[in-house]
Amino acid sequence: MIFIIIFKILFFLSLAALLVIVIRKIPTLSRLPEKPGAQEISLRSIFSEIKKAPKNLGSNIIPQTRLEKFLRRLKIFTLKISNVLDKLLKKTRKKDKEEEI
């Protein structure tokens, strides 16, 4: 039962992450021409976009303190899940050893 809940949570978190990525890419996609190959892409423009990316990364979406707080909570959550899974593995190994004997 708990596995189903965990998998559902992971599924919805993944879905939310995909939606965030798509929403962030809509302005870039709207600037592209409708016909493929209609606009020439120069290496200079590609490198200028790459140089801008680290500066703009996350600054316009989530303030730094909220991001840090979220990441800390996510780390604690993953550690708790890891601990639960570790306990389940120990129980199953113990049962297997008892059945062998």
Rounded to two decimals, what is the model's pTM? Answer: 0.37
Coil, strand or helix: which one is 78?
helix
Q: In whole angstroms, how far apart are CA 18 and each of 11, 15, 69? A: 11, 5, 21
Task: Kindly report, residue by residue over 27-53, the tens digit of the pLDDT.
Answer: 887 777 666 655 556 666 666 766 666
Spatial distance between the Cα atoms of 61 and 58, rounded to a whole number of angstroms = 5
The pLDDT profile of the chain, 101 residues, written as one tens digit per residue, is 788 888 899 999 999 999 998 888 888 877 776 666 555 566 666 667 666 666 555 555 567 788 888 889 999 999 999 999 999 999 999 988 888 77
